[in-house]
Structure 1
Amino acid sequence: MFKTARSKVQTWITAGAGTIAALFVAGLMGAFGALPAHAPPQLPPGTAVDAGRWRVQPVRAYVSHARVHGVLLKPGQKALVLEADMTNRTAQSDKAYFDVFKPDGIALPDPMPMIALTRDATLTPELHPGMTERMAYVWPLAGDAVVPASVSFGITTEMFKPRDNLYGMPGWFNPYRLGTVTLPVADGQAQGTGS
């Protein structure tokens, strides 16, 4: 009987120590989890950046008050336009580029931009492997929307996995912000954008 009581006391002590250790570890994990995340880096403008399946180089930003690269605006609208050189780094044609750029600090009526080739105003084309194309990201805005003199554009990338966890198929997953590039914003339609 004495052995049984002693075993019970040892079990309670061991369980109590284990519980205390688990609470301590959980507390540490919670404390580290509550730390602010590091801000994505500020990328230099005019530099090509490998962003997962795309190599991107933001070129210029401006506000258009009329049709731009084939994108029609409604009466009373204007548009924030980002032109960027984009290269498909994969082995197949693709147009999964809608989420690559996102302007920060501007209330967008629709976060999904209209996208066109600048050379011929083709809307949402597939980009072929290894071919660099200049693309125009066009975000329509209300005519009275305030656009600052410079805008930061977040660049989103994805990771390639040869086998995903769900289907065992290759693909691009886990989008995250790679960094931010800040460009001055010119006002008025740039020459040659009214196609």
Structure 2
Amino acid sequence: MLESARSRVKAWAIAGIGTAAAIAVAGLLGAFEARHQALAALAPSSQVDTGEWLVRPLKAYVSAEKHVYGTLLKPGGKALVLELEMTNRTAKSTKDYFELLQAGPTPVDPATKPFIVLTRDSTMSPELHPGMPERMAYIWQLPDGAAPPANFGLTVIRKTYKLRDNLYGLPGWFNPAPIGTLTMPVGAGPDAPDLQP
């Protein structure tokens, strides 16, 4: 009787370890597969819903002007400028757009943060009001001696709204994740026309 009980406990322990191992392996494989799935290619002139924002790319170009919308470039430097229309979809004014776009590995260093400017008055990193489309410029300084690129690749990031976050129990936008890639043709200067939707 005692030997039979020991055998059952041993069998359950082995089954439990096997089940736990199977779940762990399945989880790792699922995470690995999700991480390596190709992102959707977004149309350059389309409007993109990122949760907090509706974003419509307008144009990208290289500028050698000393001041680009009030930002000061290094002497002899050039800037890669992306202009887009942004509409705040939330209920309050916000400037939570710093993680919205990630530059590709070329022609700028992805770790380099752009200046973000309201084009109509060159206000740096303003709060945008709900429901009001605004034209914004993301401005990256190109590395010294870098040739102007023909195209500019970006990853677009989406956040998810939670009524209560896990840490403070407050509402907000969390869990940034890429939703697609955007390849913008790069024009010769600020006079380049906007892309047509």
Superposition TM-score tier, normalisation by shorter sequence: 0.7 to 0.9
Judge which range, 145-154 or 175-184, deviates more. Answer: 145-154
The residue aligned with 1:11 is 9
Deviations 1:24-60 (A, max 9, x none): 3333333333335312211111111111111100111
Q: Distance in 2 between matches of 1:27 and 1:178?
A: 26
Whole-Å separation in 1 of the counterparts to 2:110 and 2:6: 66
Deviations 1:114-146 (A, max 9, x none): 111222222212111111111010011223124
Question: 1:100 maps to what in 2?
Answer: 100
Where 1:156 maps in the other structure, the secondary structure is: strand
Larger Rg computed on CA atoms: 1
Which stretch shifts more, 29-38 or 111-120?
29-38
**Counterparts of 2:116 and 2:173, CA distance in 1:** 21
**Residues 41-60 of structure 1 aligned to structure 2 (within 5 Å):** 41-60=40-59
Q: Give the gaps of 5 or more residues in structure 1.
A: none
* Distance across 1 between alignment mates of 2:15 and 2:129: 61
SS in 2 for 1:9: helix
Query: Contact 1:109–1:140 at 8 Å: present in 2 too?
Result: no
Aligned residue for 2:78, secondary structure, equals: strand
Q: Kindly tell me: are residues 177 and 32 of structure 1, through their superposed partners in 2, closer, same or farther at Cα, counting changes over 3 Å?
A: closer
TM-score, normalising length from structure 2? Answer: 0.87
**Aligned twin of 1:138:** 139
Amino acid in structure 2 at the alignment position of 1:75: P
Work out the CA distance in 1 between the residues paired with 2:158 and 2:30.
Answer: 25
Deviation at 1:109, TM superposition (A): 8.0
Q: Deviations along 1:60-111, whole A, 9 cap, x unmatched?
A: 1011111211111111311110000001111111111122122212242852
Q: Which residue of 2 aligns with 1:64?
A: 63
Fraction of identical pairs, as percent: 44
User: What is the Cα-based RMSD across aligned positions, in Å?
Assistant: 2.0
Does the 8 Å CA contact 2:114/2:138 hold for their aligned counterparts?
Answer: yes
Separation (CA, whole Å) in 1 of partners of 2:28 and 2:124? 47
SS in structure 1 at match of 2:123: coil
Aligned length: 189
